[in-house]
Amino acid sequence: MIFSLETFLILAIILTGFVGLATAKNVIRSVICLNITQTGIILLFLSLVYQPGMLPPVMPTPLSTMVDPTPEALVITTIVIGAAITSLALMMSIKIFHHYGTLEWNELSRREG
């Protein structure tokens, strides 16, 4: 399997999100890195299922030229779930800040342990 430049760039985005998630010292930065990782995974999935010359299944066309709508539905579902997880994580960040007065992981772990 030959990887294109776009695949390497997408993998770099995913790796950037993972590294940022592993090294983030702040809760908000962790949420941002989680979103970067999710976006990279969505881009990778779309680049793998993309078929040039295929039409979206919204117009009556011959069946052989229509793209399969299942990957599109999966991506839309992933985006909606990602938005829900992000909003939940940000809401929890607000609650953590109001309770502990900080969003730094080191200070939060010291206060818990």
pTM flag (> 0.75): yes
Q: Which residue has the tokens 């979103």?
A: 35
Q: Which residue has the tokens 């990778």?
A: 44
CATH class of the domain defined by 5-54+68-112 = mainly alpha
Cα angle 72, 73, 74; round to 5? 90
Give every CB contact of residue 22 below 8 A, 6+ residues apart in sequence: none
Q: Report helix, strand or coil for 113.
A: coil
Q: What 8-state DSSP symbol labels residue 53?
A: T
CA 109 – CA 96 distance, rounded (Å):
12
Predicted confidence (pLDDT) per residue in 2-23, tens digit: 678 999 999 999 999 999 999 9
Predicted confidence (pLDDT) per residue in 25-55, tens digit: 999 999 999 999 999 999 999 888 887 877 7
